[in-house]
Amino acid sequence: MKVVILAGGLGTRLGEETDVRPKPMVEIGGKPILWHIMKGYSQHGFNEFVILLGYKGYLIKEFFANYFLHQGDVTIDLADNKVEVHRNKSEPWKVTLVETGLHTQTGGRLLAARDYLKGDDFMLTYGDGVSDVDVTALVQHHRSHQATVTMTTVQPEARFGMVQTDEAGLIRDFREKPPGDLGWINGGFMVCGQGVFDYLKDGEGTIFERTPLEQIAADGKLLNWPHHGFWKCMDTLRDKIQLNQMWDQGQAQWKTWN
């Protein structure tokens, strides 16, 4: 089963980080967050990826085209115009990189990859979120039902704490707001059947998270997969700093691989 990753957005809330690179190439522990996402899937045996490009997509192409150069020792013979890579390490990945347009919406990007996804269900996620979700169990859950899309839902962390006051109006306590207070949201990590393409009717302007998913839900074909473990989206610079701190401190809960 192929894994489709949306990697074309502008990522404007990350400020200067995305002035020079696409959001999926922003690094955690010296590796792009895209690499972390792919390692998570690979841990479960899913090694064929279709990456949907947009903003500065050429940098993602260059990363994979030069993957051996990044991973191993290199001898460059300038006289003979030869490059030899030594002790190279790589993952067993097959990566298809699809140009989907700079301003194309998420549903339009998925539609642009249709020719690479014929015949089977496929997984779909975003290029900016990491999790320890059990994608093997997710796929099994999807296949045991007649759903068009199975969506992993998560309870995000709250950004602000709460204060507790007494009857006199005095603040008596501070506490962190528990994740459950914010309800459940789309966490990505979806499984889609071929029928999903029937809902992408507005071409490049289709926003997958709006009319398509709303209509799939209205048709009773959107299945929930609640995830109670770790999940975090790298939406802001603050998120990037937190994820890097977790990695540096050996607390990266999304690292399920050895």
pLDDT at 158: 72
CA distance 231 to 86: 37
Domains, the chain, in order of start with CATH, read 2-151+185-248 (3.90.550.10)
Q: Which residues of 15-32 are buried (b: 16+ CB within 10 A; e: fewer)?
A: eebbeebbbbbbbbeeeb
Look up residue 112 and give its DSSP letter. Answer: H
Residues of the chain with pLDDT under 70: 159-162, 175-182
Count the Cβ atoms, other than its own, within 10 Å of residue 228: 10
Residue 124's contacts (CB-CB under 8 Å, 6 or more residues apart) are: 3, 4, 5, 6, 110, 188, 190, 191, 192
C-beta separation of 53 from 64 below 8 A: no
**Over the stretch 84-119, which tens digit does the pLDDT of each residue have?**
888 777 889 999 999 999 999 999 999 999 999 999
Which pLDDT score is estimated for 68? 84
pTM: predicted TM-score of the whole model, two decimal places: 0.90
- Tens-place pLDDT, residues 131-149: 999 999 999 999 999 899 9
Residue whose structure tokens are 């109670």: 228
* pLDDT for residue 89: 77
